[in-house]
Amino acid sequence: MTHDLDRTDRRLLAALQDDARLTVAELAERVALSTSPCWRRVRRLEQAGYVTGYHAQLSAERLGYGITAFVSVVMGSHTQEVARAFEARLRDIPEVIACHNVSGRYDFLLEVVATDLAAYGEFARNVLQALPGVTELHSSFSLKSLKAERRLPLHGT
């Protein structure tokens, strides 16, 4: 998949991952290109799906979210209809900041933010437990975030 990327492409991706607010001129300078070829390469990387968006990383703590929970979900039914209903409802819940369909004992792993433990308890009982097909929830709480950047490794940069 990444065999189409040369060293300059990887350096562009690394620079964008470091700071997506760089201007094309700043980006070009970092990877030793002039602005036009740099812009064309970034556009090609976007069109090829290597860059899927640009986002600001917000502080959960400063926004009042003191709790991050990792919630393992067990589904009682594994039909496509139930899974689609669960996934559709889940997408509309802003407190669920990440969701993965996983293998093993559990069916889904959610990352959830809440203001405090009491708010999380209410949310789990009233929102998560009410999702289509959910039979069990198992929650673990983050005591300390050690690495939250979600940076992808770019070998060969």
Q: What CATH number does the domain containing 75 carry?
A: 3.30.70.920
Q: How far apart are CA 111 and CA 71, in angstroms?
A: 6
Check if the beta carbon of residue 90 is closer than 8 Å to that of residue 99: yes
| Mean pLDDT, residues 3-32 taken together | 94
> How many structural domains are present in the chain?
2
Average pLDDT, the chain: 94
Q: What local confidence, expressed as pLDDT, does residue 141 receive? A: 98
Check if the beta carbon of residue 114 is closer than 8 Å to that of residue 95: yes
Q: Residue 16 domain-assigned?
A: yes
Q: How far apart are CA 136 and CA 139, in angstroms?
A: 10
Check if the beta carbon of residue 54 is closer than 8 Å to that of residue 24: no
Q: What local confidence, expressed as pLDDT, does residue 3 receive? A: 61
Digit-coded pLDDT (tens) for 82-109? 999 999 999 999 999 999 999 999 999 9
User: Residue 90: exposed, middle, or buried by beta-carbon count in 10 A (0-12, 13-18, 19+)?
Assistant: middle
Of the pLDDT bands very low, low, confident and very high (cuts 50, 70, 90), residue 149 is: confident
Q: Examine the domain organization and report whether 20 and 80 are in the same domain.
A: no
Q: How far apart are CA 115 and CA 65, in angstroms?
A: 4
| Mean pLDDT, residues 44-72 taken together | 95
Which residues constitute the domain of residue 19? 2-47
Q: Residue 29 domain-assigned?
A: yes
Q: Examine the domain organization and report whether 95 and 123 are in the same domain.
A: yes
Of the pLDDT bands very low, low, confident and very high (cuts 50, 70, 90), residue 152 is: confident
Tell me which of 66-70, 91-95, 143-147 is least confident. 143-147
Q: How far apart are CA 1 and CA 12, in angstroms?
A: 17
Does residue 69 carry a pLDDT above 60? Answer: yes
Whole-structure pTM value: 0.85
Q: Residue 154 domain-assigned?
A: no
Q: Which residues pair with 156 in a beta bridge?
A: none
Does residue 62 carry a pLDDT above 80? Answer: yes
